[in-house]
Structure 1
Amino acid sequence: MTDTGAAIRIGINPIGWSNDAMPELGADTPLETCLSEAAQVGYSGIELGGKFPREPAVLSQILSTHALELISGWYSGNLIEHSVEQEWTLLQPHLELLKSQGCRVLVYAETWHESFMETRRPMSSRPVIDDAQMHDYATRLTDLADRCLYDYNMRLAIHHHIGTIIQSDSDIDQLMALAGPSVGLLLDTGHCLSAGADPVAVLARHGARVCHVHCKDVRAPQLQQALGEDMGFMQAVLHGLYTVPGDGCIDYPALLAGLKAIGYQGWLVVEAEQDPQVANPLVYARMGYDYLHQSARSAGFEISR
């Protein structure tokens, strides 16, 4: 669990306004629009996006103007090919930026081969590793996570993601069994369900490791079509696979009850990859916030600004 105070906080990812994996989605949307609309809705924080400045003072100024905090930021890792020393060196600028903003969690995804970035590459063709490779990967990931804690007081949260080596519930189970306790789990509800896993069940098994939560929802008909046609990940996104909490089929009351039961005290981050020309970012940001805020209160959470 993250130690961020006595209450949860609700934040958002800028991906509804501008998509870094497919830059043409929201390419013309200024960062100012994203930040002002997120603040207008009532979010307390926002995750890092490709349009954000990387100079700490500049970033602090632009966020403070909108009364937003930086929650964390995605890092595309490659520990499959890099040594721990190589990865640690490459990670330094990102960690320094997060540290400058007071972040306590690092969003770390293993993006070896980056198959999910290829619009039409079938989701079934994602890279896989054998048991020996997973054991080695978990050992090196633990080393990296230990360094993040020791040097930056920051928890590494591994992001299971469609199209990566950590995708299915069995991948998550195996990694959590092999990795040391410094390796936290980013529970992404949409990626869980898209991979055939139940996010509530994953939380029940690994609640002690959950240190960050991405809250997206899944449209069941689009999921069935994406799986049936073996679409590429971004192809499925364009087809409307994801939406904000409360607009899909995920059982958020059960998920939030599970988070309350384990005493979760971190961020709930609304994140829904959609085409902003189809799904108006402000409309969906408000829809996700209102639903999550109400549902979290109903689950017994206190919500802090």
Structure 2
Amino acid sequence: MFENKKIRLGIAPIGWTNDDMPELGKENSFEQCISEVALAGFTGTEVGGRFPTDPVILKKSLELRRIKIASKWFSSFLCTTPYEENEEAFIKQLYFLELLGANRINVCELSYNLFAKECSMFGDKKPVATDEEWQSLTEGLNKLGKIATERGFKLCFHHHMATVVQTIEETQRLLDHTNPEDVYLCYDTGHFTFSSEDAVEAARLFGPRIGHVHLKDIRRERMEAAIAEGYKFRKAVLEGCFTVPGDGFVDFMGVFKALEESGYEGWFLVEAEQDPALANPFEYALKARQYIKKMTGL
């Protein structure tokens, strides 16, 4: 599978240390994280909150372990703050990533997000944007995307649970109103699944626009409990709803086939928000790597 395709495998640091909940994995160092990434057989990662902020120091540490930076999260607030503020912060992140040799940046719209809210992320609690805010979002993404393209990057929009762009319908709306030459999708198997969507259908539907891939699995019984009981986002993480590929019910063979048929090339990044005290990061990294090899031969 993926013969003659340029596919690289990475794993995000969130399994070792959680930027949204810093108490998770506070005992795990940056050095431990990237050393175990390499030992597990991955060649890339994404920038984490505990990574050195000096790109020279960071690059040296990564090169010692033959690890590349695939991308970095960027929080946009295009619905609710002036575009200029978003652009200034965005350009700073592009500069940082340029120094590390990366060419992807994952943008997630966090206006009204419920990541830290003490309320359910389901039903009428789910964030929504007005038509005017949608226009601000898509127009802003087109501008940021053009800047990224001119600097050799792909802006990859990250649909996400507990945000205004979560479902297939919302993702379609965003892609329909953005420039396909400048705005791509950071496709996440777990977030589509948790949103009661078909991850395989999404991969087929959005294939030509996918610029980056997050491989995340979902434990069915825990997801069903989360929906039934109206979990807040952080509770879903703490209750073990998310896990690595092969440890849940996502149809990854279907996902891989759809991505292969679309001609996808780029990174596959394993990303699973778990409590490292309950799910040993190195153990789960090895599980994910072995599963991907079994499914794809990569």
Tell me the TM-score range normalised by the shorter chain. over 0.9
Matches within 5 A, 1:171-190: 171-181=170-180, 182-190=182-190
Structure 1 residue 115 displacement after superposition: 1.3
Tell me which residue corresponds to 1:122.
Answer: 120
The alignment yields a C-alpha RMSD, in angstroms, of: 1.3
Quick check: 1:116–1:126 contact (8 Å CA) kept in 2? no
TM-score (normalised: structure 2) = 0.95
CA drift of 1:248 comes to 0.4
* Aligned-partner residue type, residue 85 of structure 1: E
Maintained 8 Å contact 1:77/1:110: yes
Letter in 2 for 1:223: M
1:1-305 to 2 correspondence within 5 Å? Answer: 6-118=5-117, 120-124=118-122, 125-150=125-150, 152-181=151-180, 182-297=182-297, 303=298
Distance 1:222 1:229, change over 3 A: same
What amino acid sits opposite 2:253 in the alignment? Answer: P
User: Please, which runs of 5 or more residues in structure 1 have no aligned partner?
Assistant: 298-302
Contact kept in structure 2, 1:186 and 1:211, CA below 8 Å:
yes
Structure 2 Cα separation of the partners of residues 34 and 8 of structure 1: 22
SS in 2 for 1:113: coil
Give the TM-score taking structure 1 as reference length: 0.93
* 1:206-250, Cα deviation, whole Å (9 max, x unpaired): 111000000010000000000000100110111110110011000
- The letter of the residue matching 1:271 is E
Runs of 4+ in 1 over 4 A off after TM superposition: none
Aligned length: 292
Greater relative CO (CA pairs within 8 A, separation 6+): 1
Distance 1:295 1:230 in 2: 34
- Say if 2:245 and 2:288, in contact at 8 Å, map to a contact too: yes
Q: Distance in 2 between matches of 1:112 and 1:133?
A: 10
In structure 2, the partner of 1:300 is none
Separation in 2 of the partners of 1:93 and 1:59?
A: 16
What amino acid sits opposite 2:11 in the alignment? I
- SS of 1:112's partner is coil
Percent of paired sites with the same residue? 35
3-state SS of 2:203 partner:
helix
Aligned equivalents of 2:273 and 2:42: distance in 1? 18
| Aligned mates of 2:237, 2:225 — CA distance in 1 | 12
How far did 1:193 drift?
0.5
Unaligned runs of 5+ in 2: none
Residues 216 and 272, structure 2, Cα contact 8 Å, conserved in 1? yes
- What is the CA-CA distance between 1:86 and the residue it aligns to? 2.0
